[in-house]
Amino acid sequence: MQAVFERAFIAGRQELGLILGVGKELNKLSRTLDTIRAVLEDAEEKQIRNAAVRDWLRDLKDIAYEADDLLEAFNFRALRREVEGGERTWQVLRVFSSCFGLRPALFRSKMAHQIMEIRKKLDEMAKERDNLQLRELTDGTSRPENLRRPPTSSLVDESNVFGREEDRDEIIRFLVSQESPSRNLPVLPIVGFGGLGKTTLAQIVYNDARVTNHFDLKMWVFVSCNYNVVRLTNSMVEAATKKKSDLTDLNMLQETLVEELRGKRFLLILDDVWNEVRANWDRTRLPLNAGRSGSKVVITTRIKRVAQIMGTVPPYHLKRLSKDACWTLFSRSAFAGGEFAGNHKLQAIGKEIVSKLDGIPLAAKTIGSMLFARPDEVDWQKILKSEFWELPTNENGILPPLKLSYQTLPSHLKQCFSYCSIFQKGYEFDKDKLVKIWMGQGFLQHQGTKQVEDTGAEYFDELLGRSLFQNSKDGYVMHDMIQALAQYVSADECFIAQDCRLQGIPGKVRHLSLTSEDSQPISLEALFGFKSLRTLVTLYGFNSSVIQIPPDLFLHLKYLRVLDFSDSFLEELPETIGNLVHLRYLDLTATAIARLPESISKLYSLQTLRLERLFLIEGVTQRHNQSDKPTASGRRQQTDLECGWNWETDLPPRTAYIQDSSADRT
């Protein structure tokens, strides 16, 4: 939301004030925005448990979108002015006036009135912040409880740990190995996303007799996201002395720790580390050099950058449990002793549930515990058919450990991550394409002279480094639990319309994707009511034989920023696409488009146009009545593309992909 406000008024404020004479209103608006912006972080953290705050944020976001649309309309006219030429102020006012049927003076009055209405709405929102007890968060402010996971200890019930023997032995071999040739204190990071069992693995290693016999001193310290050097050092002192420490001075704490470690071969485990500031770790590790040669440190973290900052050896990337181990953990949690007492139906349903859990121990244990002492098959079937985000999210649920991964993201990454919820489970992300889409939505912040695409690539790499994306054979994927998290945090804004069913989707949805398993032609008239849409995407595998776009669809969806019909059987775009003055990203890859309409040259805001692997469909109308689904094999015919764009006189998009696949050239 901060990014939306910044883009909507701070960046465009000077030019709007100059052209429209509304500087006074913008100054008032800016002060209101400062008041609201200061408490946004606290509001986002409290909304999880406070419905009133959640409603306040939803209303605030609607106003932010309204403000953004107002500025976008102005920016479009400014781009049009650049292309068409003419005197600066007069031309803008003339174009605006002709658009709205107003004289310049009346138009100035109308725009000032719209800005004033937005400011009044925001003033009311600002007054509510006190009623909701929202506060400004600074670096010294303690974080709310919902940003902290429950603390861990070194104790573990090993009878409920399965499938980690190989991981345990490999880490223990490292810990008890001979002294490292490097003079640096060896630090081993264990890396993986939430719920994978990093803490459990560290616990069974910590308590193994081979480790206990090898080290003179063992210390377990729970770190979590509130990294404070003084607090952390105090925890290490207490772990070393097994006594409560009341010291608050960093120097005294570090000297005390040095005395406790001197001459001892120690093992220190730092559990759940989120710190990404190298200077913090440099200050923390200084007393650790007092230990005897052979001392080791193990950290658990979800973030690859943390491993890079703190680790001195290659990180240990924790893998999922095997199917057998996952089944054993699930069955032990669902039935006492893991015995199904001859109930073969429950056992069959349970194995189907486990197959969906994909080797995530937290999910297996949590869902198994939910079904404990509930032998009713109906309950088990409900769990089998549920998605992760539909399951209970209490203190011991699946999502809370993952929520922390989202809550600790910087605000500019939160919107990029939650936006990915419009793509279905198992979707293969193309990094370059996703960055271009983020750019089209205005999610990427300008950083000096750096290309916006480079900034987007950095955003993606940071999400990848936090285990929110994973490498795959052909690109990147999100694990189902991470995808569920994205859908959970983007509620009311992002939706997937399965088989193009729009029932139950709110009218103010902003980002929508369509799937279809039906070979019959699909008409998009049902979308007329979704006037706030900013994204419309057909997902890969869209099986409708033909998409029929109503000629007036784009008169209703006038706020679209991203339009993606790739990998669909779209044959024609209507001329009304020229009305999408906000459109920045248009993807027609692998469609049956033979000609772009002339009106596409009016899309002055367009940044990316993708026209790869175009084809014609032979006999589409004859196939409509056939029962088999259309496929690409044997039914495509390469075609040259007719384009209404005059590349010499019209404003081209920032990026265009036009591929002649018959010659394999781009």
Give the pLDDT confidence score for residue 363 in this predicted structure: 85
Is residue 43 within 8 A of residue 58, CB to CB? The reply is no
Q: Show the CA angle centred on residue 248, arms to residues 245 and 249, nearest 5°.
A: 120
The pLDDT of residue 8: 52
pLDDT the model gives residue 633: 35
Long-range contacts of 135-138 (CB under 8 A, 24+ apart): 135/39, 135/42, 136/38, 136/39, 136/42, 137/41, 137/42
The answer for residues whose C-beta is within 8 angstroms of residue 591's C-beta and 6 or more apart is: 565, 566, 567, 568, 569, 570, 571, 614, 615
More confident site: 281 or 342: 281
Q: Is 105 helix (H, G, I), strand (E, B) or coil?
A: helix
- pLDDT, position 245: 92
The residue that leads in pLDDT, 232 or 195, is 232
pLDDT at 271: 96
The runs of H, that is alpha helices, within 421-576 are 431-441, 452-465, 480-489, 553-556
- Amino acid identity, residue 72? E
Question: Is the Cβ–Cβ distance between 570 and 552 less than 8 Å?
Answer: no
Give the pairing of strands 547-548 and 522-523.
Answer: parallel
In the chain, % of residues over pLDDT 70: 75
- Topology (CATH) of 409-491: Arc Repressor Mutant, subunit A (1.10.10)
- The structural domains of the chain, with segments of one domain joined by +, span 2-141, 147-317, 323-399, 409-491, 492-666
The angle, 0 to 180 degrees and rounded to 10, between the axes of the packed helices 411-419 and 452-465 is: 80
- Report pLDDT for 140: 43
Banded model confidence at residue 620, pLDDT cuts 50, 70, 90: very low
- Which range (83-92, 310-319, 407-416, 440-449) has the least confidence? 83-92
Asked whether residue 663 carries a pLDDT value surpassing 60, the answer given is no
- pLDDT-derived band of residue 23, with 50, 70 and 90 as boundaries? low
Identify which of 477, 504, 475, 480 has the alpha carbon closest to the alpha carbon of residue 492.
504
The answer to whether residue 235 scores a pLDDT higher than 90 is yes
Separation CA 510–CA 512 (nearest Å): 7
Mean pLDDT of 56-66: 84
Q: Would the pLDDT of 56 be above 80? A: yes
Cα 552 from Cα 570, distance rounded (Å):
16
Closest by CA position to 196, among listed 482, 594, 407: 482
Has residue 449 got a pLDDT over 60?
A: yes
Q: What's the pLDDT score for residue 420?
A: 96
Residues 337-378: tens digit of each pLDDT? 666 667 788 889 999 999 888 888 988 888 888 888 787 888
3-state helix vs strand vs coil in the chain, percent to 5: 50, 10, 40
Mean pLDDT is lowest, of 336-350, 450-464, 497-511, 526-540, for 336-350
Give residue 371's pLDDT: 85
Nearest to 316 by CA among 205, 482, 433, 224: 205
Which has more confidence, 491 or 431? 431
Inform me whether the pLDDT recorded for 82 exceeds 80: no
Q: Could you count the other beta carbons within 10 Å of the beta carbon of residue 374?
A: 13
- Number of residues assigned to the chain: 666
* pLDDT band at residue 545 using 50, 70 and 90 as cut-offs: low
Place 142 in a pLDDT band, splitting at 50, 70 and 90. Answer: very low
Interval 193-226: pLDDT, tens: 888 999 999 999 999 999 999 999 999 999 988 8
pLDDT of 456 strictly over 80 = yes
When mean pLDDT is compared across 242-251, 394-403, 524-533, 640-649, the lowest value belongs to 640-649
How is residue 7 annotated by DSSP? I
Nearest CA to 305 among 465, 73, 510, 182? 465
Residue 435 structure tokens: 């960055």
Q: Assess whether pLDDT exceeds 90 at residue 525.
A: no
Q: Give the pLDDT score at 17.
A: 52
Position 618 scores a pLDDT of 45
* Between residues 156 and 547, the one the model is more confident about: 156
What was the pLDDT predicted at 225? 82
Give the tens place of pLDDT for each residue, 566-619. Answer: 888 888 899 999 999 899 999 998 888 888 899 988 888 899 999 888 765 444
Question: What is the identity of the amino acid at 447?
Answer: Q
Identify the pLDDT of residue 625. Answer: 35
pLDDT of residue 626: 35
Question: 147-317, which class in CATH?
Answer: alpha beta
Give percent of the chain above pLDDT 90: 38
Tell me if the pTM is above 0.85.
no
Q: Which of 337, 317, 303 is CA-nearest to residue 160?
A: 337
Non-local CB neighbours of 91 within 8 Å, separated by 6+ positions:
81, 84, 85
pLDDT above 90: residue 46: no
Distance CA 291, CA 289 (A): 5
- Whether the pLDDT of residue 463 is over 70: the answer is yes
Least confident of 45-59, 384-398, 467-481: 384-398
Segments of 283-408 assigned E as strands? 296-301, 316-317
324 pLDDT more than 90: yes
**Is the pLDDT reported for residue 268 higher than 70?**
yes
What residues contact 253, with CB distance under 8 A and at least 6 apart?
Answer: 230, 233, 234, 237, 245, 247
Domain 492-666 belongs in CATH node 3.80.10.10: yes
Mean pLDDT across the chain: 80
Is residue 172 predicted with pLDDT exceeding 80?
yes
- Cα gap 408→405, rounded to integer Å: 6
> Stretch 616-627: mean pLDDT, rounded?
38
